[in-house]
Amino acid sequence: MIRIPFLDLKQVNAPYMDALKDAATAVVESGWYIRGSYCERFEKEFAAYCGYAYGVGVGNGLDALTLMLRASIELGRLKPGDEILVPANTYIATVLAVNAAGLVPVLVEPDEKTFNIDPTKLAAACSEKTRGILAVHLYGRLADMRSIWKFAGERGLLVFEDAAQSHGAFLGDRKIAKSAAVAYSFYPTKNLGALGDAGMVVTDDAELARVVRMLGNYGSEQKYENRYRGVNSRLDEIQAAFLLAKLPHLDSWNARRREIAARYCSEVKNPLIRLPEIPADLHEHVWHVFTVRLPNRATRDALQKHLESRGIGTLVFYPIPPHRQEAYAEALEGTLLPASPNFPIAETMADTVISIPVSQVLTDVQVSEIIGALNEFVC
């Protein structure tokens, strides 16, 4: 029996039950359910929180990624078939979004220390068709944005960010600016989660924000006038109201996650378990998940069983990298590059990583119990 689940969403939301019920009631009574005043307020507050001028609420994180790329095409900043560098070890949504926008994802190996795209490998992945980089802040740790912006600046590439796992992670000045646009997901398990699907694009670019908004609304700004072949991807009022109620607590949740991560890093002493690096600037990591590595797959699977036997839930992010998925089994040139990809670092990570509970609802006693179980693991 799992006594310490990997993540218990009921427990995550329970302390805010009254505020969430009030939010739901207010929306139901308002009679306005899509893209109304709650959405507008949440867009403003969340964009400001991220240090950006504009926020556009959309249906989910995948749409946020896809629409920021599509809008860049509609504005002539990218064109169909352009190549976009993406990390080889990410959730498949990142890669799917590039394809969905009509662009070509070119996979780049991660840095073993940070789990994020390796800036030293960007140059080798570039071709004459390369026009952008879509960085992912995997597990809640910011990618090396300073190196990525510098590289992109030298080559005239656009930079985008997939921040679906990194709400509240910021570079020193609290702003991850300089990128063309940043996509967020508010899927219920994220650091800031809705009670359903939701997403947002934040940007300093008024034109880009306007086109993302149109694309998510059938390509229309003026009712029944369709400038683009858009989609239906809008942020529900009820989700925006929930997110408005939760946003003020995000920093304190992330602080608690950092506290738990720091305890794991200092108290887990098992030589089989390789701990993640804590970045020098603590604000660059919000520990969406706490991921450790084992020497090989068999040991990883054994640790998962061991923790399960102690009633501790774990998850693997992600057991199969995108290029090994059936969806990309017949990846040909023009869909995913290179055509027969081989990414030993990303593949070894998929075989050896495991994530242990780190959510803000864990008690100190539970954290101690998890540390004890990790230290007692033998193989």
- As measured in angstroms, the least distance from the Cβ of 76 to ligand PLP is 26
Shortest distance (Å) from residue 67 CB to ligand PLP: 12
Nearer to ligand PLP, 161 or 373 (CB): 161
Nearer to ligand PLP, 13 or 270 (CB): 13
Q: Shortest Cβ distance from residue 336 to ligand PLP (Å)?
A: 17
Instruction: Provide the minimum distance between the beta carbon of 59 and ligand PLP in the complex, in angstroms, as a whole number.
Output: 8
Cβ-based nearer residue to ligand PLP, 138 or 268? 138
For residues 251 and 169, the answer to whether their CB atoms sit within 8 Å is no
Considering beta carbons, is residue 216 or 270 the nearer one to ligand PLP? 216
Closer by beta carbon to ligand PLP, 39 or else 164? 164
- Contact indicator for 349, 320 with CB cutoff of 8 Å: no
Q: Give the footprint of ligand PLP on this chain (CB under 6 A).
A: 60-62, 90-91, 93-94, 136, 162, 164-165, 185, 187, 197, 199
Q: Residue 359 Cβ, how far from ligand PLP at the closest point, in Å?
A: 15
Q: Are 323 and 341 in contact (CB under 8 A)?
A: yes
The residue at minimum Cβ distance from ligand PLP is 61
